[in-house]
Structure 1
Amino acid sequence: MTTPTDDLVRRARTGDAEAWRALYRAHAGRLVVWLGTRPTGDAAVSADDVAAEAWLVAARRIAEFDGDDEEFAGWLFGIARRVGLNLHRRSARRGTTPTEDPPETSHHEGPEESRVAIDWARQVLQRLPPRERDVVACTEVVGLDVATTAQALGISAVAVRVARHRGLRRLRDQPDLAGVRPRP
């Protein structure tokens, strides 16, 4: 059975601009939030930059994609992960070193409380090993399900569940996070 979002993916494959706009509205915000939790290795590269490059790659490669909306999210996040890794490698080759985080210039900024919450989440997630950080960011911050997270990160669903459990346990054991609980 085809759902309206599956129809969006099909229409996007044919170049329908309105379908692309709808897919962008559905995924852009949480993609930028998730990318904001990942280090790029270059302070000059923002989450918005990585997301923009990921959308360009997705547009070029949409004909290769065969799936529904949730699979599209995993596919897009996987592209963004690889774009971020490539930017990190490029930065390492150039010999740039990260400095303090530059002020965010995101066009997705909302109320100040939202900005503070995103910054807090980024700082907390940096305490975790990379895999646990990525999994917790996908599942808890962005709200992706296990299957989509697995597809986005290129790991198995079992590895996602294990990393999520370990990451949340590590965060729960942080004394300065006492009383903060993950959502079920």
Structure 2
Amino acid sequence: MHTDDDQIARAKTGDPDAWRELYRAHAGRLVVWLGTRPAGDSAVAPEDLAAEAWLVAAQRVADFAGSSEQFAGWLFGIARNLSSTTHRRSARRRTDPGLPETVELPAADEIGEADGRDWVRRALARLPPRERDVVACIDGVGLDVAATAAALGMSAVAVRVAHHRGLRRLRAASVSEEGQSVAAASSRSR
């Protein structure tokens, strides 16, 4: 059984300073992570889902038992559930035109800083959902294995395996793209 640390105990009593500290620690990472997940509905921004996750967390904080570090996994789990619900609702209502099945990834030298984020999203979108979510949690927003496992409802071993497989797939895709870029460049110079 987990016991609450001081910050969580204060948050449960409604202490605004405790909530501010939790927000500062997790809000930015939560929005970034939600931006890597398939939204399903282009009208629902990652910021909207994050705000809804914070509201749900505030309503259910009395049910949470743990430290402020474990709070991240719990909060990300709430956000994952909200994101999945939004995605399912969108699929039922067909409110989003969707993305094409194949996504062309540009060569690394063709990517500007703003386009780099889009490239990362497209690269992650090519991974199976489980691997995409794990790589986004660990490498995208810096959660540890335990928080990632809590956020995604997986065991720590499954998180490690999915992380390894996801990185291996990304490396293979990157090497494949580099080879195609070199071949295209040499054919243009002839």
**What is the TM-score when the length of structure 1 is the normalising length?**
0.82
2:12 corresponds in structure 1 to: 13
In our comparison, the structure showing a higher alpha carbon Rg is 2
2:108 corresponds in structure 1 to: none
Distance across 2 between alignment mates of 1:118 and 1:57: 28
- The correspondence of residues 68-79 of structure 1 with structure 2, limited to 5 A, is 68-79=67-78
Distance across 2 between alignment mates of 1:16 and 1:33: 26
SS in 2 for 1:119: helix
Distance across 2 between alignment mates of 1:63 and 1:177: 51
SS in 2 for 1:131: helix
SS in 2 for 1:150: helix
Distance across 2 between alignment mates of 1:79 and 1:120: 27
CA RMSD of aligned residues (A): 1.8
* Unaligned runs of at least 5 residues, structure 1: 101-111, 179-184
2:24 corresponds in structure 1 to: 25
Q: 1:54 to 1:40 in 2, by over 3 A?
A: same
1:168 corresponds in structure 2 to: 167
Contact preservation (8 Å) 1:136, 1:164: yes
Distance across 1 between alignment mates of 2:10 and 2:98: 42
Aligned amino acid, residue 78 of structure 2 = I
Aligned residues: 162
- The correspondence of residues 23-172 of structure 1 with structure 2, limited to 5 A, is 23-99=22-98, 113=113, 115-172=114-171
Contact preservation (8 Å) 1:77, 1:152: yes
2:186 corresponds in structure 1 to: none
How far did 1:116 drift?
4.1
Q: 1:28 to 1:129 in 2, by over 3 A?
A: same
Contact preservation (8 Å) 1:40, 1:87: yes
Distance across 2 between alignment mates of 1:145 and 1:177: 30
Contact preservation (8 Å) 2:40, 2:98: no
Distance across 2 between alignment mates of 1:45 and 1:177: 34
* Unaligned runs of at least 5 residues, structure 2: 100-111, 180-190
Taking only the aligned residue pairs, the percentage that are identical comes to: 67
How far did 1:10 drift?
1.1
Q: 1:58 to 1:22 in 2, by over 3 A?
A: same
How far did 1:176 drift?
2.3
SS in 2 for 1:173: helix
Distance across 2 between alignment mates of 1:67 and 1:122: 32
Identify which range, 168-177 or 5-14, moves more after superposition: 5-14
Name the structure with the higher helix share: 2
